[in-house]
């Protein structure tokens, strides 16, 4: 054996240069840090030696066994390696580095040393220990598909592919994470999407210089336009139907292995307020609920601030009939309205946070105990006025109306600066904060598209599906914020209506 | 880094400083009703009525006498009231009779000058002293503080009073071509309640002492087109029916079209013509349609209303009060004859022609 | 979508509308009413026509030099030294305008809502969003203005309530205050319309289909004039003319007297909404001033200039303490503004006519 082996050169060594399987295995094992789940299985082979190497923790043993059996049989019966779906031949020109990556990604490798050189085969036999397809818990809908993504990238792409069976649907694989080598996939419609956006997205993903990419949320911060903004610029969703709808608008979805979430961009603010439910119900109902949701944004953001401003600065705006009840409600409350509101808001946030972590039945109990008992007791104790309870409760409910978890948290955080400014400068403070927020939203971009798209810059056509939802057959153009190449979505589908009248 | 520091410094300095203009609702004592009187030595007495905190306790109403001006009153009130007193939710301002005969604008001025005051509040003139009235017990479901705005508003609803808020009063005071009119309230000892007596007529900024009775003020409200939801007239139509109540007929206005025009070249004449559609709502002898009484009834009402209008105009001329705003029309359409200084003399001499046209459009669901 | 630093005709429209409409509208009916009495609206119409003519002159001037900014043209006509001097006077003028609008704004807030809050706090709060926006490029500012313009109809809507009980007789007799009064009223009316000079600076950014799109700028001033005439008429059918003269902010006063079922004292809510409009006008001037300084010093970015100018305007606004001092300042600034909006552009145009023709001769 070669005693002065240069260990530094191992990664660059090609398979061809090895003399026997034992050396190859040893070097690979060294390359993989002598990890103990790196296993080998010598195979019997007629004209040489063969070895199967794999990471035992990444493979389904039974499947592997079957594949090896198939491999051996094909060699006996046909005399050469037949490739199948999960058996692929690999070139012996690959370096240890490349081979090592294959192992880490979950392939089993069979290397055959023949007299005239090496021959290699990779076998895919992944473990399918994934969650079944379920409805995502935080994005439930009433009508429509109840499928959700799971942690398997393949299953997820499958779900999208089956919804858009088009030659234009493009899947693009990328690998992120210097250590983790996570597979990441971009999905878009080739004939609709703006390729500038695709390139931008790919460029940003490739620029990620992180060692691991363990989740979408982690990755999002690397690639979003403005991390300091409280607003989510990319849509996180676990619903295939939502992703498909967005892809057909010309947006790009990104998913990574092991995460049930798709990251969709470029988004605009109003798209966060769309829910698949809007399209499954009648359009009047859908429009109503969408307006309600947008209204809830304003309520959740401004109501407590507005109340504080009125109670501590501008009670003149309360109508005469209400002035006295309001006065009676706040009479004798020891704290200033801001403190009062903060106590309650924080209590509600506590209840919410506690409810998430606890198992379901206890979570509900906490909700009831927190909501009813604390609320009632706090009013009786005279700590907080009952008007404040109404305001805060309404705010809390409104903030949960948003069909996107990120936007929901955004709104809940954003109301605090409003409240503080309202307690200092009344309506004036709210207006200042509101203006700053509007300016911020105008500046904000999602994948270089304006975030407030249909209203700033203003497109009347884009507003068709933003504030209200017009009937599907009228939405003939795609929304402009993703800047799709192909703006026209469909023609007029109801020509028969005129025909019949004739 | 520097920028962040600067921003932090600025926000900290704002956050740490207190809130200068904070007025917490819980620390304020809202005054709903206030009364002005001429006190001794020409001083002004201000009486403020504060609603009770506890809604079940009507008599918890605090009434107190203070100060010379509204500002002064606020200052004095703070000396003897537990909370800071606030007039920004003022609903009614009552002026004592004697005070109203002086230039009332100087009393109202403070209300217009301070942005916090509510200009939707009502103003009224009180028979005698406002303070006496406000100290009177009132048998009502509402507390004293809300009671006075209540009676004025209900009188506006049945068109006995035209709505006059502090803001409209101000416009009328400034306008030389029209005069102010305000509700006139008295205290009824028997019922232990305040009562709307009618409409007090002003000449410029001063109360003339002349009052339009509710009957005439309803007509007045109709003529200046400020009527409320209901306009109702009741008159004795016949003399000989029994029981006595059968003699009376009540009508309600269905629709009206009033035009006041000033015509003529040298001698200006005011033409008031009104076309009103009425419903008969109460007339016990019945058979209105069957006996074809309608033309008679219409004629009779026309005459009755014209007679009342004449009476109303006479009272207004006597008071030198141009409440109908004739001067405004003269200055608009006959600017060459308009002279602000001599206008009131011209007005008194001015002939009026009143023409009513009444049409019965309904008799209710019985004939 | 939009290439950087290019705006459309409609964006120009809103930029100019939002520069013209500021806090001025709240006091404008009373300022003109003082002079022209019940015929204030006629003065406003005449002033609108005059401004329209000035805008047409601007269009004529700018379309002769489609590649140049206004200051580029000035430099071309007056030579670079005189041009720089003119630019610096413009810069001073803009800082003056900024100081004036800051003080005016503070005055409204101070008389209407915050009587005790120190001046610097209110102005600081006001300047934070102003700087935040003005340091961006023109496209974003144009988007902001368009978004904010949805608030303009609120004024029309609220004032519409006056027409439930209007007193149209107060407008009569038309022309009753006399020709002299009407003509004298044009002066405050033009001051109320100030801000149209922004056209000179914003028109540069309209690059495609320039001839046609610039007309939308003229449309903007026409729109503002109509809007103002409506406001004047509304205040006059609500107040008797003598009352308007006493009341400094008639528009707010009208709202004070209105009563809705959900809210009373609409003026308090409205003033906060209007603050955003005032801010928008302020942002325009801040941006223009920043750009002027950028061109004056031949720098690449206007961001730092905006900071500097904001600090200057802030300090400047702290100086006048009383109403009277403010009034004196306005009396200098307003007539001065005519030099910058009318005199210099016309002079530039005349010189450019000569220069261009002489250039043509040379090249020929």
Question: Is residue B339 in some structural domain?
Answer: yes
Residue C62 structure tokens: 């700018």
Which H or E run includes A228? none
- Residue C187 φ/ψ, nearest 5 degrees: -60, -55
Would you call B46 helix, strand, or coil by DSSP? strand
pLDDT tens column, B36-59 = 888 777 677 788 887 777 666 655
Burial B25-36 (b: 16+ CB within 10 A, else e): bbebbbbbbbbb
Confidence of residue A419 (pLDDT cuts 50, 70, 90): very high
Collect all residues of chain A within an 8 Å Cβ-Cβ radius of residue B30.
323-324, 327
Mean pLDDT computed over C32-56: 89
Name the average pLDDT for chain C: 86
- Is B195 in the same domain as B92? yes
Confirm if A83 and A89 have CB atoms less than 8 A apart. Answer: yes
Inspect the interface and report whether the beta carbons of A443 and C126 lie closer than 8 Å.
Answer: no
Dump pLDDT digits (tens) for C56-114. 988 888 888 888 888 888 888 888 888 899 999 999 999 999 998 898 888 888 888 88
In three-state secondary structure terms, A366 is helix
Q: Is residue B4 part of a domain?
A: no
Please tell me if residue C343 touches chain A, with a CB cutoff of 8 Å.
no
Residues B136, B257, single domain; the answer is: no
Per the domain annotation, does B128 fall within a domain?
yes
Contact check, Cβ <8 Å, B21/C238: no
Q: Residue B1's pLDDT band (boundaries 50, 70, 90)?
A: low
One domain for residues B283 and B155: no
CATH for B306: 3.30.300.210
Q: Residue C364: its pLDDT value, please?
A: 47
pLDDT at A3 exceeding the cut of 60: no
Out of B111-115, B172-176, B284-288, C219-223, pick the least confident. B284-288
Q: What is the pLDDT of residue C3?
A: 47
pLDDT of C2: 41
Residues 320-349, chain A, touching B (beta carbon < 8 A)? 320, 323-324, 326-328, 330-333, 336-337
Is the residue at B329 inside a domain? yes
What is d(CA A392, CA A386) in angstroms, rounded to the nearest whole number?
Answer: 10
Q: Does A16 touch chain B (CB under 8 A)?
A: no
Contacts of B148 (CB under 8 A, 6+ apart): B33, B91, B92, B94, B124, B185, B194
Helices A405-443 and B2-16: crossing angle, nearest 10°? 110
The per-residue DSSP string of B3-38 comes to: HHHHHHHHHHHHHHS--TT---GGGEEE--EEEEEE
> Cα–Cα distance between B241 and B264 in angstroms, integer?
46
| A194 vs B362: which has the higher pLDDT | A194
Residues B318 and B362 in one domain: yes
- Same domain as B255, residue B205: no
Residue that wins the pLDDT comparison between C251 and B60: C251
Closest partner residue to B89 (CB to CB) among A312, A320, A420 is A320
> Quick check: B60 pLDDT over 70?
no
Nearest to C236 by CA among C20, C44, C19: C44
Phi, psi of B120 (to 5 degrees): -90, -10
Q: Is residue B17 part of a domain?
A: no
Residues B207 and B233 in one domain: no
Please list, in sequence order, all residues whose beta carbon lies within 8 angstroms of the beta carbon of residue A122, skipping any fewer than 6 positions away.
Answer: A87, A88, A89, A90, A102, A107, A108, A109, A110
Is residue B342 predicted with pLDDT exceeding 80?
A: yes
User: Do residues B206 and B233 both lie within one domain?
Assistant: no
How far apart CA C343 and CA C57 sit, in angstroms, is 11
Instruction: Report the pLDDT value the prediction gives residue A91, as an integer from 0 to 100.
Output: 84
- Shortest distance between the Cα of B157 and any Cα of chain A, in A, equals 17
What 3-state DSSP class applies to A91? coil
Of A230-234, B102-106, B137-141, which has the strongest mean pLDDT? A230-234
Look at residue A1 in the predicted model and tell me its pLDDT.
44
The CA distance from A344 to A341, in Å, is: 5
> B257 and B108 in one domain?
no
Contacts of B170 (CB under 8 A, 6+ apart): B105, B108, B112, B119, C243
Q: What are φ and ψ of residue B85, in 5° steps?
A: -90, 140
Backbone angles phi, psi at B180, to 5 degrees: -80, 150
> pLDDT at residue B12 above 70?
no
pLDDT higher at A297 or B7: A297
DSSP 8-state code for residue B285: T
Looking at residue A435, its pLDDT comes to 93
Q: Tell me whether residues B53 and A320 touch, CB distance under 8 A.
A: no
Mean pLDDT, residues B325-334 taken together:
85
Q: Does residue B220 surpass a pLDDT of 70?
A: yes
ipTM of this predicted structure: 0.91
| Alpha-carbon radius of gyration of chain C | 21
**Distance of alpha carbon A272 from alpha carbon A232, whole angstroms:** 9
pLDDT (0 to 100) of residue A198: 92
Percentage of chain B beyond pLDDT 90 is 2
Q: pLDDT at residue A434 above 90? A: yes
Residue from the list A317, A425, A449 with its beta carbon closest to the beta carbon of C269: A317
Q: Collapse the DSSP code of A493 into the 3-class scheme (helix H, G, I; strand E, B; otherwise coil) and give the result.
A: coil
Residue with the larger pLDDT of the pair B71 and B190: B190
**Token pair for residue A355?**
């409810």
Same domain, B199 and B345: no
| pLDDT per residue as tens digits for the range A355-378 | 777 777 777 777 777 777 888 888
> Which residue on chain B is closest to C245 by alpha carbon?
B174
Distance (Å, whole) CA C226 – CA C63: 26
Query: Average pLDDT, stretch B140-150?
Result: 78
- C153 vs C293: CA distance, rounded Å: 35
Residues B41, B167 within the same domain: yes
Contacts of A432 in chain C (CB under 8 A): 125-126, 128-129, 275
Cα(B354)–Cα(B30) distance, integer angstroms: 47
For residue B229, being part of any structural domain is answered with yes
CB-CB contact of A20 with A113 (8 Å): yes
| Summary mean pLDDT of chain A | 85
Question: What is the span of the domain harbouring residue B309?
Answer: 225-367
Host H or E run for residue A442: helix A405-443
Q: Which residues contact B251 (CB under 8 A, 6 or more apart)?
A: B232, B233, B234, B278, B279, B280, B281, B301, B360
Do B236 and B169 belong together in one domain? no
Range from A41-45, B11-15, B146-150, C244-248 carrying the lowest mean pLDDT: B11-15
* Block residue for tokens 């009831």: A368
The pLDDT value recorded for residue C4 is 66
- From A172, A193, A189, A200, select the one nearest A447 (Cα to Cα): A200
For residue C3, list chain A residues with Cβ-Cβ distance below 8 A.
none
Q: Which of B151, B185, B212 is the last residue of a domain?
A: B212
β B122-126/B181-188 pair status: parallel
State the chains in contact with B (3 or more Cβ–Cβ pairs under 8 Å): A, C
Angle at CA of residue B142, ends B136 and B143, nearest 5°: 50
Number of domains in chain B: 2
Interface test with B, best of C167, C174, C235, C255 (most B CBs within 10 A): C167
The CA distance from B358 to C154, in Å, is 42
The verdict on residue B53 lying in a domain is: yes
Domain assignment of residue B3, yes or no = no
| A289-331 confidence digits (pLDDT tens) | 889 999 999 999 999 999 999 998 888 888 888 888 888 888 8
Where does a domain end: B186, B212, B238? B212
CA distance A281 to A469: 11
Q: Using CA atoms, how far apart are residues C153 and A11, in angstroms rounded to an integer?
A: 71
Tell me: do B137 and B263 sit in the same domain.
Answer: no
Q: Indicate yes or no: CB of B25 within 8 angstroms of CB of A333.
A: no
pLDDT one-digit tens code per residue, C209-237: 788 888 888 899 999 999 999 999 998 88
State the Cα–Cα distance between residues A316 and B87, nearest whole angstrom: 10
| N-terminal to C-terminal alpha carbon distance within chain B | 89
Q: Which residues, including other chains, have CB under 8 Å from residue C363's CB and lie 6 or more apart?
A: none
* pLDDT at residue A128, as a whole number: 74
Flag if C264 and B118 touch (Cβ within 8 Å). yes
Q: Which of B:39-98 have CB within 8 Å of C?
A: none
> Helix, strand, or coil here: A137?
helix
Query: Parallel, antiparallel, or unpaired: how do β-strands A262-265 and B232-236 relate?
Result: unpaired
Pairing type for strands A107-114 and A49-55 reads: antiparallel
pLDDT of residue B3: 64
Ordered structural domains, chain C, with CATH = 9-344 (1.20.1740.10)
Enumerate the residues of chain B whose CB falls inside 8 A of the CB of residue C117: 20-21
- Chain A closest-CA separation from residue C10 CA (Å): 10
Confidence of residue B80 (pLDDT cuts 50, 70, 90): low
Chains meeting C at 3+ CB pairs closer than 8 A? Answer: A, B
Chain B contact for C256 (CB, 8 A cutoff): yes
Kindly tell me the sign of the dihedral angle through the C-alpha atoms of B216, B222, B228, B232. Answer: positive
Residue B13 has a pLDDT of 58
pTM here is 0.88
Q: How close A436 gets to chain B, by Cα (Å)?
A: 14
């Amino acid at each position: 054996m070669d005693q002065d082996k240069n260990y530094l050169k191992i990664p660059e060594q090609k398979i061809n240069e090895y003399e026997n399987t034992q050396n190859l295995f040893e070097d690979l094992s060294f390359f993989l840090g002598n990890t103990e789940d790196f296993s080998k299985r010598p195979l019997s082979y007629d004209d040489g030696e063969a070895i199967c190497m794999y990471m035992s923790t990444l493979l389904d043993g039974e499947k592997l066994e079957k594949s090896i059996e198939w491999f051996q049989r094909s060699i006996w019966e046909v005399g050469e390696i037949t490739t199948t779906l999960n058996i692929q031949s690999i070139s012996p020109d690959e370096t240890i580095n490349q081979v090592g990556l294959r192992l880490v990604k979950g392939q089993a490798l069979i290397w055959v040393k023949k007299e005239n050189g090496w021959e290699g085969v990779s076998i895919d036999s992944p473990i399918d220990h994934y969650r079944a397809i379920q409805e995502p818990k935080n994005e439930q809908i009433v009508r429509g598909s109840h499928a959700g993504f799971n942690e398997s990238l393949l299953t997820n792409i499958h779900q999208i592919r089956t919804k858009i069976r088009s030659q234009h649907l493009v899947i693009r694989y990328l690998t992120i994470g210097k250590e983790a080598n996570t597979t990441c996939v971009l999905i878009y419609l080739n004939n609709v999407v703006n390729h500038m956006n695709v390139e931008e997205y790919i460029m940003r993903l490739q620029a990620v210089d992180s060692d691991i990419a363990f989740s979408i949320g982690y990755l999002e911060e690397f690639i979003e336009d403005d991390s300091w903004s409280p607003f989510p610029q990319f849509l996180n969703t676990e619903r295939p139907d939502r992703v498909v709808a967005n892809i057909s608008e010309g947006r790009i979805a990104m998913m990574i292995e092991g995460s049930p979430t798709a990251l969709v961009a470029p988004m605009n603010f109003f798209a966060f307020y769309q829910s698949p439910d809007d399209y499954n119900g009648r359009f009047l109902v859908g429009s109503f609920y969408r307006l309600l949701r947008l209204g809830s944004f304003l309520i959740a953001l401004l109501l407590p601030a507005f109340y504080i401003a009125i109670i501590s600065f501008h009670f003149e705006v309360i109508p005469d009939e209400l002035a006295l009840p309001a006065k009676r409600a706040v009479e004798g409350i020891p704290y200033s309205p801001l403190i009062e509101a903060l106590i309650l808001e924080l209590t509600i946030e506590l209840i919410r946070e506690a409810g998430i972590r606890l198992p379901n039945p206890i979570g509900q109990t906490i909700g009831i105990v927190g909501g009813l008992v604390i609320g009632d007791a706090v009013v009786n104790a005279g700590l907080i006025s009952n008007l404040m309870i109404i305001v805060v409760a309404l705010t809390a409910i409104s903030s949960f109306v948003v069909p996107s978890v990120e936007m929901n948290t955004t709104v809940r955080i954003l109301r605090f600066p409003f409240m503080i400014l309202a307690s200092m400068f009344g309506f004036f403070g709210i207006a200042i904060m509101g203006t700053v927020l509007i300016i911020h939203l105008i500046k904000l971009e999602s994948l270089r598209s304006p975030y407030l798209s249909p209203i700033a810059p203003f497109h009347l056509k884009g507003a068709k599906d933003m504030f209200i939802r017009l009937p599907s057959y009228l939405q003939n153009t795609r929304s402009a914020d993703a800047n799709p190449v192909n703006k026209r979505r469909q023609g007029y589908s109801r020509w028969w209506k005129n025909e019949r009248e004739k | 880094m520097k920028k962040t520091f600067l921003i932090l410094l600025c926000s900290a300095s704002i956050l740490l400083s207190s809130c200068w203009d904070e007025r917490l609702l819980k620390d304020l004592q809202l005054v709903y009703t206030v009364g002005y009187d001429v006190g001794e030595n020409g001083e002004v007495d201000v009486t403020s009525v504060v609603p009770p905190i506890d809604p079940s306790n009507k008599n918890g109403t605090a009434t107190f006498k203070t100060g010379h001006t509204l500002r002064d009153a606020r200052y004095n009130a703070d000396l003897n009231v537990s909370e800071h007193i606030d007039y920004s939710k003022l609903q009614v301002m009552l002026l004592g009779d004697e005070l109203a005969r002086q230039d009332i604008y100087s009393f109202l001025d403070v209300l217009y000058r301070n942005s916090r005051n509510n200009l939707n509040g009502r103003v009224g003139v009180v028979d005698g002293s406002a303070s006496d009235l406000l100290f009177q017990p009132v048998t009502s479901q509402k507390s004293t503080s809300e009671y006075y705005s209540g009676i004025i508003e209900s009188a506006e609803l049945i068109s006995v009073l035209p709505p006059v808020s502090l803001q409209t009063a101000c416009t009328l005071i400034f306008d030389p071509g029209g005069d102010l009119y305000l509700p006139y309230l008295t205290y009824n000892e028997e019922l232990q309640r305040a009562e709307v007596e009618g409409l007090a007529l002003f000449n410029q900024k001063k109360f003339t002492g002349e009052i339009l009775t509710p009957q005439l003020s309803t007509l007045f409200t109709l003529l200046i087109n400020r009527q409320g939801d209901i306009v109702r007239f009741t008159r004795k139509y016949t003399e000989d029916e029994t029981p006595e109540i059968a003699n009376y007929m009540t009508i309600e206005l269905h629709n009206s079209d009033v035009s006041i025009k000033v015509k003529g070249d040298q001698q200006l004449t005011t033409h008031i013509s009104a076309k009103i559609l009425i419903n008969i709502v109460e007339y016990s002898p019945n058979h209105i349609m069957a006996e074809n009484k309608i033309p008679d009834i219409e004629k009779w009402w026309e005459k009755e209303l014209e007679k009342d209008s004449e009476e109303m105009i006479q009272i207004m001329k006597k008071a030198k009060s141009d409440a109908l705003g004739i001067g405004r029309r003269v200055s608009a359409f006959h600017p060459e004859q308009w002279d602000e200084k001599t206008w009131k003399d011209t007005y008194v001499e001015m002939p009026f022609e009143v023409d009513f046209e009444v049409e019965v459009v309904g008799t209710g669901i019985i004939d | 979508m939009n290439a950087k630093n290019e705006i459309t005709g409609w964006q120009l429209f809103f930029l100019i509308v939002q520069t013209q409409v500021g806090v001025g509208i709240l006091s404008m009916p009373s300022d003109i009413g003082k002079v022209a009495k019940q015929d204030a609206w006629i003065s406003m119409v005449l002033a609108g026509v005059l401004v329209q003519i000035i805008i047409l002159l601007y269009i004529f001037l700018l379309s002769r030099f489609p590649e140049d900014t206004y200051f580029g043209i000035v430099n071309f006509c007056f030579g670079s030294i005189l041009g720089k001097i003119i630019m610096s006077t413009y810069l001073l003028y803009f800082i003056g305008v900024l100081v004036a609008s800051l003080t005016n704004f503070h005055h409204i807030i101070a008389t209407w809502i915050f009587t005790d809050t120190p001046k610097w706090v209110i102005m600081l709060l006001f300047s934070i969003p102003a700087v935040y926006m003005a340091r961006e490029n023109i496209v974003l500012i144009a988007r902001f203005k368009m978004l904010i313009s949805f608030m303009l109809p609120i004024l029309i809507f609220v004032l519409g309530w006056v027409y439930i009980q209007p007193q149209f007789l107060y407008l009569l007799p038309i022309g009753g205050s006399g020709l002299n009064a009407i003509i004298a009223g044009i002066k405050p009316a033009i001051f109320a319309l100030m801000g149209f000079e922004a056209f000179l600076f914003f028109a540069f950014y309209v690059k495609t289909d320039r001839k046609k799109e610039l007309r939308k700028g003229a449309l903007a001033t026409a729109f503002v004039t109509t809007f103002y005439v409506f406001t004047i008429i509304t205040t006059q059918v609500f107040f008797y003319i003598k009352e308007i003269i006493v009341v400094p902010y008639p528009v707010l006063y009208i709202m004070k007297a209105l009563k809705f079922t959900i809210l009373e004292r609409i003026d308090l809510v409205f003033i906060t909404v209007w603050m955003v409009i005032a801010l928008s006008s302020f942002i325009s001037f801040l941006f223009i001033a920043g750009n002027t300084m950028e061109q004056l010093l031949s720098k690449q970015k206007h961001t730092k200039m905006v900071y500097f100018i904001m600090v200057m305007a802030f300090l400047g606004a702290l100086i006048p303490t009383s109403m009277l001092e403010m009034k004196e300042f306005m009396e200098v600034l307003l007539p001065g503004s005519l030099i910058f909006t009318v005199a210099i552009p016309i002079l530039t145009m005349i010189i450019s006519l000569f220069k261009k023709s002489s250039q043509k001769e040379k090249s020929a």
